[in-house]
């Protein structure tokens, strides 16, 4: 960790992996370019993405001390069962993260209470306030930047409040669900429809800023043109007048995947102009995708495994999948989208699925068939117009990271003004 120069203000970012860290990386680069000192706690799977982006993240292994024998014992036992070597950067980090978090849970609830909570909720029972206080002691931040998660990220917001340090939280797509509280001083939300949901959950309207989500800004910058799309389709035997459906699979087979395939099985015989690109999840068994291809027919369906997702989304006409951010990316590109899941909960969480008629949400095979039966081959102009509408609603203009960085700077400036007064 580098010591800050006296005149430079220090930002502490705390985030987990997946979409959370990818959402923050462009913001952190923007803040560094503006002259801030940035320190990042990259938790669990976030460290690898941060290192790839050129950062040197801190972890829980930087917080564990020689005298933390109880935490080490807990960590070694838990890591023996839970460490995922392909995802977390080191066994040492897993031991420190699990051990310090579990020991802190014991400090909060007692030995029996911690055991009961962990047995019931696993790692979701963690709220590692003690370890995060050590992190703040180490970094000495002037402002906190984090996202929505009910563990260390939430703990960091609470510790910042304890110490009078301003906090900025960035909401991801599914952070609108009630268990993802984000009580930061300022909250950046992806779209306007989210604000009323958050106000109902107790956040102040004046603390909310509609910024968009940097995870989706690649769509605004997408450069592949019509010729590239036509070439991709041609190489896969898809004619220009055929409707290409991209089927995005889950890691494991479940009732939702079965519903999707049943919908396609019943519709395809009546629609010979359809083709289906079956895309297995990166963490799934490719045999699941091959089974789908056999069920739909090799003359209709083909494996789409190694093509970059951006290319596949650009080339397809429609996407069918489960609840997933891929569906949002497809909609932002103007594609027709059908989602199959267990409930109709997108609009209730403020996610504007219902706007512009870009998507359908089905919970039965009959509903799915009805939704897909309305799909038709759109013209490039129709697709472009729909995509432009959705991108406007989702603030997808390539500037989301700059708007979030501005919120961080404003939070710091207002804090300095209060202290000066």
pLDDT in tens, 49-101: 999 999 999 999 999 999 999 999 999 999 999 877 656 668 899 999 999 99
pLDDT of 239 strictly over 70: yes
> Backbone dihedral region of 416: left (phi > 0), alpha (psi from -120 to 50 degrees) or beta?
alpha
* 3-class SS of residue 274: strand
**Rounded average pLDDT over 369-375:** 93
Superfamily of domain 10-212+397-420: Glycogen Phosphorylase B; (3.40.50.2000)
pLDDT in tens, 389-405: 888 888 889 999 999 99
pLDDT score, position 143:
98
Orientation of helix 365-372 relative to helix 255-267, angle to 10°:
50
Instruction: Write down the pTM of the prediction.
Output: 0.85
Q: Where are the domains of the chain?
A: 10-212+397-420, 219-394
pLDDT score, position 86:
57
pLDDT score, position 354:
59
**Rounded average pLDDT over 335-346:** 78
* Of 10 and 217, more confident: 10
Domain 10-212+397-420 identical in fold to domain 219-394 = yes
Distances (CA, A) of 20 to 12, 71, 179, 215: 15, 27, 16, 9
pLDDT of 223 strictly over 60: no
pLDDT score, position 230:
82
pLDDT score, position 224:
47
Lowest mean pLDDT, pick from 25-29, 65-69, 223-227, 323-327? 223-227
Distance CA 17, CA 247 (A): 25
Lowest mean pLDDT, pick from 5-19, 66-80, 220-234? 220-234
* Of 98 and 229, more confident: 98
CATH T-level fold of 219-394: Rossmann fold (3.40.50)
Where does the pLDDT of residue 190 fall: very low under 50, low under 70, confident under 90, or very high at 90 and above? confident
Give the DSSP per-residue string, 156-209. HHHHHHHTT--EEEE--TTTTSTT-----SEEEESSTTHHHHHHHTT--GGGEE
Tell me which residue of 324, 348, 359 sits closest to 215, measured CA to CA.
324
What integer best gives the mean pLDDT of the chain? 88
Structure tokens at 202: 């107790």
From edge to edge, which strands make up the β-sheet containing 167-170? Answer: 37-42, 10-15, 143-147, 167-170, 186-189, 208-210
Tell me which residue of 192, 212, 207 sits closest to 404, measured CA to CA.
212
407 phi/psi in degrees, rounded to 5: -65, -40
pLDDT score, position 268:
93
Distance CA 363, CA 370 (A): 11
Structure tokens at 94: 């897993």
């Amino acid at each position: 960790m580098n010591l800050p120069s006296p005149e430079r203000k220090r930002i502490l970012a705390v985030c987990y992996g997946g979409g959370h860290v990818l959402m923050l990386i462009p913001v952190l680069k923007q803040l560094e370019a503006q002259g801030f000192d940035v320190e990042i706690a990259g938790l669990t799977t976030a460290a690898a993405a941060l290192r790839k982006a050129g950062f040197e993240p801190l972890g829980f292994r930087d917080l564990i001390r020689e005298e933390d024998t109880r935490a080490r014992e807990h960590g070694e036992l838990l890591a023996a069962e839970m460490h995922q070597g392909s995802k977390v950067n080191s066994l040492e980090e897993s031991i420190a993260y699990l051990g310090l978090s579990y020991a802190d849970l014991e400090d909060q609830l007692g030995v029996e209470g911690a055991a009961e909570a962990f047995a019931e909720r696993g790692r979701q029972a963690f709220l590692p306030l003690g370890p995060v206080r050590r992190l703040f002691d180490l970094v000495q931040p002037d402002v906190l930047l984090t996202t929505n998660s009910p563990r260390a990220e939430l703990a960091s917001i609470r510790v910042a409040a304890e110490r009078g340090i301003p906090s900025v939280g960035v909401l991801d797509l599914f952070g609108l669900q009630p268990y993802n509280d984000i009580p930061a001083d300022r909250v950046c939300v992806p779209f306007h429809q989210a604000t009323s949901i958050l106000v109902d959950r107790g956040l102040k309207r004046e603390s909310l800023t509609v910024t968009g989500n940097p995870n989706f800004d690649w769509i605004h910058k997408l450069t592949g043109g019509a010729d590239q799309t036509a070439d991709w389709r041609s190489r896969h035997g898809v004619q220009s007048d055929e409707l290409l459906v991209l089927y995005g699979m889950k890691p494991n087979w479940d009732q939702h995947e079965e519903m999707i395939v049943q919908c396609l099985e019943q519709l395809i015989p009546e629609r010979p102009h359809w083709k289906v690109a079956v895309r297995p999840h990166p963490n799934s068994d490719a045999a699941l995708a091959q089974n789908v291809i056999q069920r739909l027919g090799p003359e209709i369906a083909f494996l789409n495994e190694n093509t970059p997702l951006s290319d596949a989304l650009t080339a397809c006409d429609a996407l069918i999948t489960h609840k997933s951010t891929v569906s949002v990316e497809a909609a932002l590109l103007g594609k027709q989208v059908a989602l199959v899941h267990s409930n109709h909960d997108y609009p209730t969480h403020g996610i504007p699925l219902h706007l512009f008629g870009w998507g359908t949400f089905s919970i039965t095979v009959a509903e799915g068939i009805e939704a897909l039966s309305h799909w038709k081959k759109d013209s490039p102009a129709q697709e472009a117009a729909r995509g432009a509408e959705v991108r406007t609603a989702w603030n997808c203009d390539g500037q989301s990271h700059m708007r979030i960085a501005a919120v961080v700077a404003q939070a710091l400036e207002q804090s300095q003004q209060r202290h000066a007064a």
